[in-house]
């Protein structure tokens, strides 16, 4: 483990997968973005407000690539300046959250619960 101040200049790939708290809100801000090395890759699969999106735009020419499936404001506006960034990949945070997938998860959870309850009776 290293302090964030030591991490930023070394991070070739920065993947954010942490909870959104007061301490992590805009974790990647203007100061941190300026310290990341050129051609760094940024991936956010957690919560949109972990990144100050303005910092991505300010440093738009330095990134190797950016992958986001969450945004500061959701849904992302079709005219968002983020969409003009070179090397940007956007996805759906809950792409697997279809009605069928939810039904399967619910069915399996109930089946597991019933199986375990039945096992306790033996």
Exactly one of 26, 47, 60, 72 is catalytic; which is it? 47
Whether residue 16 contacts residue 46, with contact meaning beta carbons closer than 8 Å, is answered with yes
What's the rounded Cα separation, in Å, for the pair 113 and 105? 12
Q: Is 25 an annotated catalytic residue?
A: no
Q: Is 53 an annotated catalytic residue?
A: no
Exactly one of 25, 74, 100, 108 is catalytic; which is it? 74
Exactly one of 26, 59, 60, 93 is catalytic; which is it? 93
Q: Is 47 an annotated catalytic residue?
A: yes
Q: Is the peptide bond before 75 cis (omega within 30 degrees of 0)?
A: yes
Whether residue 4 contacts residue 32, with contact meaning beta carbons closer than 8 Å, is answered with yes
User: In 3D, which of 73, 88, 33 has the Cα closest to residue 56?
Assistant: 33
User: Which residues make beta-bridge pairs with 119?
Assistant: none
**Which secondary structure element, helix H or strand E, spans residue 54, and what is its range?**
helix 53-58
Catalytic residue annotation:
47, 74, 93
């Amino acid at each position: 483990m290293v302090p964030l101040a030591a991490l930023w200049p070394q991070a070739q790939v920065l993947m954010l997968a942490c909870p959104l708290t007061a301490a992590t809100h805009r974790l990647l801000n203007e100061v941190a973005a300026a310290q990341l090395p050129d051609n760094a890759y940024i991936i956010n699969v957690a919560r949109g407000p972990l990144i100050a999106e303005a910092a991505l735009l300010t440093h738009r020419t330095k990134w190797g690539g950016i992958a986001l499936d969450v945004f500061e404001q959701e849904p992302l506006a079709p005219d968002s300046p983020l969409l003009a960034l070179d090397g940007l990949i956007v996805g759906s945070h809950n792409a697997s959250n279809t009605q069928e997938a939810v039904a399967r998860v619910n069915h399996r959870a109930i089946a597991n619960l019933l199986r375990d309850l039945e096992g306790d009776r033996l």
